[in-house]
Amino acid sequence: MGSRIDELEQSINDLKAEMGAENSSPPVPPAAKDDS
């Protein structure tokens, strides 16, 4: 079970990295707009 959690965490980190790369391109990412 622990290995499965590790795999999920790794895939989540990969998705976060991909989203971060996409959001860093536009000057104002959608998340920043929602926060303000």
Q: What is the pLDDT of residues 8-26, one digit of tens each?
A: 999 999 998 888 766 665 5
The amino acid occupying position 12 is: I
pLDDT at 14: 92
Q: Is 29 exposed, middle or buried (0-12, 13-18, 19+ CB in 10 A)?
A: middle
DSSP 3-state assignment of 29?
coil
Indicate the pTM of the whole model: 0.47
Unique residue bearing structure tokens 């590790």:
6
The answer to whether residues 31 and 23 touch, using CB atoms and an 8 Å cutoff, is yes
